[in-house]
Structure 1
Amino acid sequence: MTQDPRDTANPDPLHGVTLKAIVTALVEQYGWEELGRRIPINCFLSQPSLNSSLKFLRKTPWARSKVEALYIESLR
């Protein structure tokens, strides 16, 4: 009998989720303006785009942590 993968799922909600998927989901849920209000960083406030945001977040651990935390909160 094969086991359902959800039975042994990793408890980490970020496991297997790319940064691109996280930012895309947040933009779909909140929009750039609200995302910039919730996390006031320039890549969300000034001419936001997916590519510029990903580039910034990959280089800036503190900002990425805030984005990941908002994503986890949005899952609840």
Structure 2
Amino acid sequence: MSQSEQKNNPLHGKTLEHIVTRLSEHYGWAELGYLLRFNCFIKDPSVKSSLKFLRKQEWARQQVEQLYLDTFKN
């Protein structure tokens, strides 16, 4: 991606760990598990286990990133 494309990317500078942490603080693990239905949010949830899953599953990561954008628009 070019520098100008990154400037317009709302997730630029946000790590996956930051995104998962903010969502878990905002919703709580139970609500996050309800919204996205990923086992990493339902069964013994933690940031570490969630990151492990989301780094392997691009489709799941995209859903988490979209929820983050929808939740924290500004």
Q: Tell whether the structures are fold-level matches, with TM greater than 0.5.
A: yes
Instruction: Tell me, yes or no, if structure 1 residue 25 matches structure 2 residue 22.
Output: yes
Unpaired segments ≥5 residues, structure 1: 1-8
TM-score by length of 1: 0.85
Give the superposition deviation at 1:24: 0.3
For these two proteins, the number of residue pairs brought into alignment is: 68
Task: Give the share of equivalent positions with the same residue, in percent.
Answer: 54
TM-score by length of 2: 0.88
Match of 1:45 in 2: 42
Match of 2:68 in 1: 71
* 2:32 alignment partner AA: L
Give the superposition deviation at 1:10: 1.2
**RMSD, aligned α-carbons:** 1.1
Unpaired segments ≥5 residues, structure 2: 1-5
Cα-to-partner distance string for 1:37-60 (whole Å, 9 max, x where unaligned): 110010001110110000000000
